[in-house]
Chain A
Amino acid sequence: MIEVEHLTKEFVVRRGRLRRERHVVEAVRDISFHVERGELLGYLGPNGAGKSTTIKMLTGILVPSGGRVTVAGLDPSKRRVELAKRIGAMFGQRVQLWWDLPLIDSFELLRHIYRVPADRYRTSLQRFRTVLDLDPFLHTPVRQLSLGQRIRGELTAAMLHEPELLFLDEPTIGLDVVAKQRVRDFLVEINRERGVTVLLTTHDLGDIERLCERLLVIDRGSLIWDGRIGELKERYGRDRLLIVDLERPVPPLEVAGAVVERVDGPRQWLRFRGPAADLTARVAAATRLVDLQIAEPDIEEIVRRIYAGER
């Protein structure tokens, strides 16, 4: 569905007023990956890592400086309009609906823009009205919708023409727990039931953990991870944390096989690898323990470690 080979994007930034200096910024640098039809994968990276730039090249809005991109068999920047009919895109932070008009007006106009036949539009819209519970605000002007309602509208707008491939940029940003769950359930449904390929950009690791099997991680323009989430945990998640509550505050403990990561009053966090029993025994021998717990690293911690450069 998506083939990316040695993709690169450079921006020229000019600084200074009189003597303008040219700086070349590499927003995306030599990225390669393949996505099969029907995958639901997460695309992760800190702010400014190059996520949105990649997506814009995949949708043909930005022209790559180097490398090769094929999406649904087409070169995006050369055949943008043709490609646009087959893909859907939703950017959680942008309003893609018509601000001053009732929600239903945006849908009707999109039906004409994408030339969706009337009967298919009706069935399609009916499904979204049920799944995303749109009826209570279908005739409300977009500017009056709550964020959760608007996002449900945006998702519908991105999907009305039944795209094979969906790009979602932070679809759950700013949503409350209930609304998030609803969006996630919806994404799982369209992926499982309808086989829509989904590329999901997010900072929300809950999205990733619940939705994606495969993860791409980009940092400073380079792809630093491409693999299944299980493998990621295996590779970066072997370290665990032993959290101990001591009788009173003491300097960081020195015990073999563990490093103190953090101290807060009488509580200390020790990072270790291997069986917990031996370490617990050593800590108990060194000082008086009041309480202890062991924390498995969650995806958030793993991603933090990847960003921090632990390879």
Chain B
Amino acid sequence: MRLDWEIAKRGWRRYAAYPWATAAGVFTNTIFGFLQAYILLAVFRHRSHVGSYDAADTVTYVWLAQALIMTVYVFGWQELALRIRDGAIATDLSRPLDPQRYWLAFDLGRAPYHLLFRGVLPFAVGALVFRVHYPSPLEALAFAGSVALAVVVSLGFRFLYNAAAFWLLDIRGVMTVAITLNLFLSGMVMPLTFFPGWLRSIAHALPFASILQTPVDVWLGKHHGADLAGVLALQALWAVVLLGLGRLALRGGARRLVVQGG
């Protein structure tokens, strides 16, 4: 536990070392928030609901999505893949530490940094300009838990497609597919409730919804009681499944490992 805490601290510091990257990210997220908010609001000129969302839900969704974009790391992450590709994985494996445990702890240190420094400011700007929905204390608490689970699911997924590097070395192709799937099916581009019924069912059956749509819906109070417990349990299940698959991939990959670069 102490070790995980120490690793997590380094995860935080690693990203805190580059404040200008953070500032640039906040700026970009804010601009995109306005863009997406005005585009989606245009839809509500002619109707009061799309799926289960009204205009306030939708605007809240937009700013939450921008606020969580780095926290749940929807875009490409290839730190593990690069270590496999350039052979640095040899260093990782020569230490008495499981690489998956390392990256999970590191990511759980990174995520709060991004939530605080990439998330709070864009959301605050959005909340000033638009009318957003605020959660009840209980919903806020559930939201915090849901975001934490989302980070683990996201890391599980990223670890898995990075592990493809054991077989492919270059994962750019795999990563492009992974990001595209994740952007659409997590609800990053558009809330899943906007999808036609059949696609919505598919999206909710996949792990991607657990990465973004679930925490957003928890904030919006779309789940109550047993239903709320159910979606959180589903997130936890996906976390376990993806981490388990990542573990298998790591074991298989390490067995066929050819360490690059001498």
- Within 8 Å of chain A (Cβ to Cβ): is B257? yes
On whether the beta carbons of B10 and A62 are closer than 8 Å, the reply is no
Query: Of A34-42, A89-97, A129-137, A253-261, which stretch is located at the interface?
Result: A89-97
How many chain B residues touch A (CB < 8 A): the figure is 25
On whether the beta carbons of A56 and B255 are closer than 8 Å, the reply is no
Most chain A CB atoms below 10 A, which of B88, B94, B96, B98: B94
> Which one of A47, A60, A101 contacts B17 once the chains associate, using CB atoms below 8 Å?
A101
Query: Of A106-114, A220-228, A266-274, which stretch is located at the interface?
Result: A106-114
How many interface contacts (CB-CB < 8 Å) are there between A and B? Answer: 70
Query: Of B1-9, B59-67, B231-239, which stretch is located at the interface?
Result: B1-9
B contact residues around A109 at 8 Å (CB): 6-7, 10
Report the separation of the CA atoms of residues A108 and B91 in the bound assembly, to the nearest whole angstrom.
17
User: Closest CB of chain A to B5's CB: distance in Å?
Assistant: 9
Report the separation of the CA atoms of residues A61 and B73 in the bound assembly, to the nearest whole angstrom.
30
| Chain B window 238-262, contacts with chain A (Cβ cutoff 8 Å), 1 for yes, 0 for no | 0000000000000000010111011
On whether the beta carbons of A63 and B14 are closer than 8 Å, the reply is no
| Chain B window 1-45, contacts with chain A (Cβ cutoff 8 Å), 1 for yes, 0 for no | 011001100100110011000000000000000000000000000
On whether the beta carbons of B13 and A101 are closer than 8 Å, the reply is yes
On whether the beta carbons of B3 and A113 are closer than 8 Å, the reply is yes
On whether the beta carbons of A59 and B94 are closer than 8 Å, the reply is yes
For chain B, what secondary structure do more than half of its interface residues adopt (helix, strand, loop), or is it mixed? loop
- Within 8 Å of chain A (Cβ to Cβ): is B93? yes
- Within 8 Å of chain B (Cβ to Cβ): is A276? no
- Within 8 Å of chain A (Cβ to Cβ): is B202? no
Q: Nearest A residue to B89 by beta-carbon distance?
A: A61
Most chain A CB atoms below 10 A, which of B2, B18, B96: B96
On whether the beta carbons of A84 and B96 are closer than 8 Å, the reply is yes
Which size bracket describes the interface of A in this complex?
20 to 34
On whether the beta carbons of B17 and A100 are closer than 8 Å, the reply is yes
On whether the beta carbons of B10 and A61 are closer than 8 Å, the reply is no
On whether the beta carbons of A105 and B10 are closer than 8 Å, the reply is yes
Q: Nearest B residue to A82 by beta-carbon distance?
A: B96
| 11 sample A-B contacts, Cβ–Cβ < 8 Å, listed by A number | A47-B262, A59-B94, A89-B94, A94-B87, A94-B88, A94-B261, A98-B14, A100-B17, A101-B14, A112-B2, A113-B95
Extra inter-chain contacts (20) besides given A61-B257, A80-B94, A94-B87, CB under 8 Å:
A52-B262, A59-B94, A61-B93, A61-B259, A62-B257, A81-B98, A82-B96, A84-B96, A85-B96, A87-B94, A91-B90, A93-B261, A93-B262, A94-B91, A101-B10, A105-B10, A112-B2, A112-B6, A112-B7, A114-B96
Q: 5 tightest A-B contacts by CB? A: A84-B96, A112-B6, A112-B3, A96-B91, A81-B96
